[in-house]
Amino acid sequence: MRQLVKSAVRYQKWALRFFLVTFVAALLLLARRFHQENTTLVPERGGTYIEGSVGQFQPLNPWFTVTNNVNRDIVSLVFSGLLKYNPETKSIENDLATLSVSKDGRLYTLTLKDNIYWHDTTKERPHPVTPEDVLFTFQTIQNPAFPNALLRQNFRGIQVEKIDDRTVRFKLEEPYSFFASNLTLGLLPKSSFEGVPVAKLDQALDFGFKPIGAGPYSFKSLMQTELSTEVTLERFPRPIDPDYYLKRVIFRIFPDYSSLLSDIRNLDGVRLVPRNDKGEPIIPRRFIAINYTLPQYVALFFNLDHHFLADRNLRLGLQLGTDKQTIVDGLGERTIVDTPLLEIDTTDWRYNYDPESAQGALFRSNWNLPEKVRLQRLLEMRETNSTGPLHADPIVLLDTGAALTLTGSLADTKPGFTVNGARIQQSPTSSGTWVVALSTIGGTGSLRLGSNLVRFADERGKPVDSLYVWRTANTEEFKRATEEQHLVDLFIQSKAGKLLPDDRITTQDLALERGMLRRRLSTDLTDIRVNDRGEKLSLRLLTSSSPPSYRKVAEQIQKQWAALGVHVGIDIPETRDAFEKKLIARDYDILLYGQSLLDNLDSYPYWHSDGVQKNDGNPANLRLDAYNFSQYASLKADALLTQIRQTFNEKERQTALSELRQILKEDVPAIFLYSPLYTFAYHQDVHGVEIGRISLHSDRFLTLHNWYILQNRVFKPGKGWLSFIPWLFTVH
């Protein structure tokens, strides 16, 4: 009995422990459920964002990052400008300074905000941003010795002056509504460049590898690893900023995308993700891809200085004969463009691919398919042969030694008349006709093999009439020539409407083979067009080896235009320097290239005649900033481009844009193809990523203050652990 009682007591203890453990577990599960239902996730400050990119690291300096997108990303966080672009509102806003513009649009006054410091500032040695730094940044650019001539052009003729200890003023020679965009350039501290000659600023490597800016993140370190170059930035608090969550941003620069993918597990983001043949981004599934376009377009620029391309009908025909949809589908692109004026809607005047209309435009041009030239010649010869007293079959089969006998009425002649120098004779038949024999061997009146112009002249040698005779001694050639004459008859009857629609023929139904017309076969290739001087329509298309998509586009254009009768030779220089040399010298007929309008969408540099390259034969006079690749000059377009630049009235601007759109449509200085699609990817553990309507790749960091990695749960308003007991009685 005692043993039984002990067993019962032991059993009760274990049961009590079990129920106690069960109770605690249930309570914890309920507490967890309560916490999940009554709290919300909120961003928490801290964490490190690591982004991978492919490229080459160069010294960090806002003055010299125009063509290096990888460096531009880093510079955009280390340095800040007086103003900044807002990708959400697509407008220029205040950054380090506040802006006011005079009514005439010529004075831009900027007042620096309070408590803005350079990254090297300390409590012992504060280093504030001053008007002297502003003057140094922009007046240095204006120096003739400044090593970035392209950037210098943005501030040509502009006066920069200090107004007081917080204010600077930019004075323009004439109104320029887009000037504020130039003031987004990152400021540089004057003290960091003391003693450095202006001409050698691009060689200031000490600053470039340890830059000092006034942006939201400061430069921490630069490290080279086996896989990549790593640049670490740390948050630099400023009173003008919203709350930034990320403490650090690390840029890892890889030599190629394969190397980047091999270390993808250690990355939180990837800039410029390549796509496969299906247009899908090459990135692991745990990454979220964002596709975006920039205010850019890729176009075929006609070099209007070349006489071949002076023919507008030719340019229009090439425009209509370019299948843009096939091009973008082959590249995995999506956005077709038809105008350089990217801020306006163009759906109402898009040039759709229309090969039939293209042929019509080319028919009206100075360039014709060889079969049309041949047909036109045969029609002219037939008209010549059908009038006047001299008549003969247009083609004859005569062996060497034979003679062609021609006859006519004596009523139309007088004694002494000749045919090709041979005197006519009265016909022995006394029928009132004359007769003459034209030999096929040497002597007066001989007929050559091929085309012959037979002249009928009076006794003084003055021409009375003429006809064309084509002679062959080959039976096969004679059959081909006879068939050609039959096709001419069909063409004439078709034009006159004397045949049923199914029996009619046009120029497109004809092909030229060994100098004669025949019916076109489905396997026939289109021949190269020629002009009145017999020159073939052969154009040289210049493009860059980078990006590789340009080669694909060039080959597609070559194929599409071959169907129009245009030969395209593709010129892709091996090096970037070789390409730029030809580009600057306008050494091309067609240029396949891209242009970027940046945030201000200003088309003036690209289509105003100021941007035309003055090619006087002296390479030293060639301008690097001549961006008018078509050599396009139009007084009307120039006036509108100037008006768009100078007006601050949005209604006037839109009206001018509409008129300019129509002029460019009619003049066809280029064929605009597509706006490139880009892909940025970030890990699913990164939150708050929205890039907006950016104008540069680096603009995605303008919303970096919304990005976060760390999260924390906080109770919803009115909730807390004291709400747990009441909640228990409401749980179902």
pLDDT tens across 429-469, in order?
767 888 888 888 877 778 899 999 999 999 888 999 999 99
**669 and 688 assigned to the same domain:** no
**137 and 81 assigned to the same domain:** yes
Please tell me which residue, 28 or 398, carries the higher pLDDT value.
398
pLDDT digits (tens, 9 = 90+) for 278-326: 778 999 989 999 999 999 999 999 999 998 899 999 999 999 999 999 9
Structural domains in the chain (count): 4
**Rounded Cα distance, 235 and 46, in Å:** 10
State the DSSP code for 239: T
Q: Is residue 379 part of a domain?
A: yes
Tell me, what's the pLDDT at 305? 93
**Rounded Cα distance, 30 and 34, in Å:** 6
Tell me, what's the pLDDT at 490? 94
Instruction: Report DSSP letters for 86-107, one per residue.
Output: ETTTTEEEESSEEEEE-TTS-E
**Rounded Cα distance, 590 and 644, in Å:** 28
**Rounded Cα distance, 707 and 664, in Å:** 42
- Residue pair 369/527 in contact (Cβ under 8 Å)? The answer is yes
Of 314, 326, 304, 317, nearest in space to 351 by CA: 317
- Residue pair 220/233 in contact (Cβ under 8 Å)? The answer is yes
**Rounded Cα distance, 185 and 136, in Å:** 13
**460 and 585 assigned to the same domain:** no
Total-model pTM: 0.82
Tell me, what's the pLDDT at 7? 65
**444 and 549 assigned to the same domain:** no
**25 and 78 assigned to the same domain:** no
Write the CA distances from 612 to 299, 303, 582, integer angstroms. Answer: 17, 11, 15
**Rounded Cα distance, 425 and 407, in Å:** 9
Q: Is residue 422 part of a domain?
A: yes
**483 and 616 assigned to the same domain:** no
Tell me, what's the pLDDT at 53? 94
Among the candidates 519, 544, 563, a domain finishes at 519
Q: Are strands 463-472 and 450-457 parallel, antiparallel or unpaired?
A: antiparallel
For residue 731, what pLDDT band results from cuts at 50, 70 and 90? low
**431 and 477 assigned to the same domain:** yes
Mean pLDDT for the chain overall: 89
**133 and 213 assigned to the same domain:** yes
Q: Is residue 528 part of a domain?
A: no
The whole domain housing 381 covers 370-519
Among the candidates 519, 542, 558, a domain finishes at 519
Please tell me which residue, 649 or 188, carries the higher pLDDT value.
188
Write the CA distances from 382 to 61, 216, 375, 385, 486, integer angstroms. Answer: 75, 82, 10, 5, 12
Q: What's the farthest any 2 CA atoms get from each other in the chain?
A: 166
Please tell me which residue, 62 or 8, carries the higher pLDDT value.
62
For residue 205, what pLDDT band results from cuts at 50, 70 and 90? confident
Q: Is residue 527 part of a domain?
A: no
C-alpha neighbours within 13 Å on the C-beta side of residue 111: 6
Token look-up 């104008």 returns 695
For residue 362, what pLDDT band results from cuts at 50, 70 and 90? confident
Q: Is residue 171 part of a domain?
A: yes
**Rounded Cα distance, 438 and 458, in Å:** 17
Q: Is residue 529 part of a domain?
A: no
Q: What is the CATH number of the domain that holds 609?
A: 3.10.105.10
Mean pLDDT of 339-364: 76
- Residue pair 549/331 in contact (Cβ under 8 Å)? The answer is yes
For residue 32, what pLDDT band results from cuts at 50, 70 and 90? confident
Tell me, what's the pLDDT at 263? 93
Pure H helices in 282-393: 312-320, 324-331, 355-363, 370-386
pLDDT digits (tens, 9 = 90+) for 256-272: 999 999 999 999 999 99
pLDDT at position 57 over 60? yes
**For residue 713, what are the β-bridge partners?**
41
**53 and 141 assigned to the same domain:** yes
Mean pLDDT of 177-205: 92
Q: Is residue 660 part of a domain?
A: yes
pLDDT at position 544 over 60? yes
For residue 69, what pLDDT band results from cuts at 50, 70 and 90? confident
pLDDT at position 346 over 70? no
pLDDT at position 80 over 90? yes
Among the candidates 449, 484, 519, a domain finishes at 519
- Residue pair 179/109 in contact (Cβ under 8 Å)? The answer is no
**252 and 117 assigned to the same domain:** yes
Tell me, what's the pLDDT at 720? 73
Of 694, 591, 700, nearest in space to 298 by CA: 591
**202 and 325 assigned to the same domain:** no
Q: How far is the first Cα of the chain from the last one, in angstroms, to the nearest whole number?
A: 46
Tell me, what's the pLDDT at 28? 79
**40 and 53 assigned to the same domain:** no
Q: Is residue 525 part of a domain?
A: no
Q: What percent of the chain has pLDDT over 70?
A: 96
Q: E strands, 510-645, where?
A: 510-513, 516-519, 538-543, 567-571, 590-596
Please tell me which residue, 185 or 597, carries the higher pLDDT value.
185
